[in-house]
């Protein structure tokens, strides 16, 4: 594995049920349990699914024409399964994209279905990881006193 393949974020607890996630570039956002306006981890998973494909599709289509509307809705059902564990099912990513009239808009509309398929089938790291079912390892750290 080369250095350009490694990704990580750090999550710091700020209070009970509230956390701040930070990336190596200095970006940060708050997340929590859903008791306030902060995103929950499940909502962040949905945002990551939609955002990953949105970036792929936007990159291809906007070369042809600037969209007049570009919206993505991601939904699913949270399943509480005592045997197999909690998980999301019926994940759906829905795009609502509009391009202007004219030749450039026609070209953008023409590549939209193919760019959606390519993102889903091979480009979007997030959806490919979810669909392939990549294992997650939890590493226990030793709790030490201050």
Q: Are residues 46 and 95 in the same domain?
A: yes
Question: Domain for residue 143, yes or no?
Answer: no
Q: Are residues 72 and 125 in the same domain?
A: yes
Q: How far apart are CA 76 and CA 52, in angstroms?
A: 17
Q: Are residues 88 and 123 in the same domain?
A: yes
- Supply the pTM of this predicted model: 0.90
Question: Domain for residue 136, yes or no?
Answer: no
At residue 25, what are phi and psi to the nearest 5 degrees?
A: -90, 0
Q: Are residues 58 and 86 in the same domain?
A: yes
3-state SS, residue 1? coil
Domain enclosing residue 122, as ranges = 40-131
Question: Domain for residue 17, yes or no?
Answer: yes
Q: Are residues 74 and 31 in the same domain?
A: no
pLDDT more than 90, % of the chain:
92
Average pLDDT, the chain: 95
42: tokens are 């499940």
For the stretch 64-112, pLDDT in tens is 999 999 999 999 999 999 999 999 999 999 999 999 999 999 999 999 9
- Band (pLDDT 50/70/90 cuts) for residue 2 is low
Residue 104's pLDDT is 98
Q: Are residues 13 and 68 in the same domain?
A: no
Q: Are residues 31 and 13 in the same domain?
A: yes
Q: Are residues 51 and 122 in the same domain?
A: yes
Average the pLDDT over 29-45 and give the result.
95
Tally of domains within the chain? 2
For the stretch 9-22, pLDDT in tens is 999 999 999 999 99
Region at 45 (left for phi over 0; alpha for psi -120 to 50; beta for the rest): alpha
Q: Are residues 71 and 25 in the same domain?
A: no
Residues 102, 107, 110, 116, CA torsion sign:
negative
Q: How far apart are CA 29 and CA 31, in angstroms?
A: 7
**Residues 6+ positions from 45 with CB-CB distance below 8 Å:** 88, 130
In 3-state terms, the chain is what percent helix, strand and coil (to 5)? Answer: 35, 30, 35
pLDDT more than 70, % of the chain:
99
- Name 21's bridge partners: 11, 29
Residue 9's pLDDT is 95
Q: Are residues 122 and 56 in the same domain?
A: yes
């Amino acid at each position: 594995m080369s250095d350009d393949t490694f990704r990580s974020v750090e999550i710091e607890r700020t209070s009970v049920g509230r956390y701040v996630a930070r990336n190596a570039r200095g970006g940060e956002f708050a997340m929590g349990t859903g008791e306030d306006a902060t995103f929950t981890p499940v909502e962040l998973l949905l945002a990551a699914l939609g955002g990953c494909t949105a970036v792929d599709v936007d990159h291809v289509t906007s070369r042809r024409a600037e969209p007049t509307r570009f919206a993505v809705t991601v939904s699913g059902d949270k399943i509480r399964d005592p045997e197999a564990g909690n998980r999301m099912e019926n994940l759906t990513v829905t795009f609502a994209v509009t391009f202007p009239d004219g030749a450039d808009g026609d070209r953008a509309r023409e590549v939209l279905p193919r760019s959606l398929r390519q993102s889903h089938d091979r480009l979007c790291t997030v959806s490919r990881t979810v669909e392939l079912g990549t294992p997650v390892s939890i590493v226990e750290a030793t709790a030490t006193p201050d």
